[in-house]
């Protein structure tokens, strides 16, 4: 999968070099390119924002640098086959703008996006990006506004990191043992069951005996009950209506 990120803080994404995603990049499973939005400005101060039309607090990101950045990234898709015939034609790109005004990011969305060939993330800052940028991006590619949750961050960078981690680990080959993805929170609509390892007793706390008994049917039942109980207590909104 190819991922392009446009941001005024490229250094945020240094962590993509480490851990599982770093290895996936080394292995060629993930090709991540980070673009500094200021590289697409042409004034001495490399200005990316201005006062909002109509007044109000804060600054709005100017459309021109965004237009140039998106053109540079999306033109590569359009010409991949022409420039170098050895390059496979790229999949239709999907442009994602993290925004508290977007649809909420879920495990189901992460799974859907993990099958994409090319994702472009545009990180807004300040009071947001000039609305025309979304319209222009929509004329060139599929566009989605995606929120991490019902709270406000200072910008899209942290949201994009979270999304890339959630999406990246679902790409075949990124996680060594794919079975570890099966029984996680949210994969079957419930929170995951609690896990234990040795020692059997630690500081007076014991492992539930059923988990050490070797009866796989009983273990599966215990885990399912624990999932339901946890979900009922913490996230009843995830359960189907009775």
Smallest separation, CB 5 to ligand ADE (Å): 13
Whose Cβ is closer to ligand ADE: residue 10's or residue 117's?
10
Q: Which is nearer to ligand ADE, 9 or 222 (CB)?
A: 9
Our CB check for ligand ADE shows the closer of 39 and 104 to be 104
- Min dist CB 144 to ligand ADE, Å, is 11
Annotate 48-65 with b (16+ C-beta within 10 A) or e (fewer). bbeeeeeeeeebbbbbeb
Residues making contact with ligand ADE (CB under 6 A): 98-100, 147-149, 151-153, 156, 159
Cis peptide leading into 199, omega within 30 of 0?
yes
Sorted by sequence, the CB contacts under 8 Å of residue 236 that are 6+ apart come out as none
Residue number, nearest CB to ligand ADE: 98
Report in angstroms how near the CB of residue 9 gets to ligand ADE at its nearest.
13
Reference 120, options 41, 6, 1, 21; nearest CA is: 6
| In the complex, minimum distance from the CB of residue 152 to ligand ADE, in angstroms, rounded to a whole number | 5
**H or E element in which residue 140 lies:** helix 131-140
C-beta closer to ligand ADE: residue 85 or 152: 152
Smallest distance, Å, CB 94 to ligand ADE? 16
Using an 8 Å Cβ cutoff, are 5 and 160 in contact? yes
**What DSSP character marks residue 39?**
G
132, 155, 7, 126: which is closest to 57 by C-alpha?
126
Please say which residue, 47 or 147, places its beta carbon nearer to ligand ADE: 147
Closer to ligand ADE at the Cβ: 7 or 99? Answer: 99
Q: How far is the CB of 68 from ligand ADE (least distance, A)?
A: 22
Write the CA distances from 207 to 186, 193, 202, integer angstroms. Answer: 24, 13, 9
């Amino acid at each position: 999968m190819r991922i392009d990120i446009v941001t005024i803080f490229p250094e945020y994404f240094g962590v993509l070099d480490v851990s599982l995603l770093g290895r996936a990049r080394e292995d060629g499973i993930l090709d991540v390119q980070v673009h500094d939005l200021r590289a697409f400005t042409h004034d001495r101060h490399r200005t990316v924002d201005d006062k909002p039309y109509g007044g109000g607090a804060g600054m709005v990101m100017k459309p021109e640098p965004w237009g140039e950045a998106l053109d540079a990234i999306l033109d590569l898709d359009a010409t991949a086959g022409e420039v170098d015939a050895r390059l496979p034609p790229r999949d239709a790109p999907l442009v994602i703008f993290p925004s508290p005004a977007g649809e909420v990011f879920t495990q189901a969305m992460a799974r859907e996006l993990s099958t994409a060939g090319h994702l472009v993330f545009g990180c807004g800052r300040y009071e947001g990006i000039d609305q025309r940028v979304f319209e222009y991006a929509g004329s060139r590619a599929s566009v989605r506004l995606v929120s991490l949750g019902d709270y406000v961050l200072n910008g899209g960078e942290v949201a994009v990191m979270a999304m890339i981690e959630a999406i990246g680990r679902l790409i075949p080959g990124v996680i060594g043992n794919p079975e570890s993805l099966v029984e996680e929170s949210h994969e079957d609509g419930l929170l995951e069951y609690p896990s234990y390892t040795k020692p059997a007793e630690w500081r007076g706390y014991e492992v539930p005996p059923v988990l050490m008994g070797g009866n796989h049917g009983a273990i599966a039942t215990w885990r399912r009950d624990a999932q339901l109980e946890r979900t009922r207590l913490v996230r009843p909104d995830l359960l189907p209506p009775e």
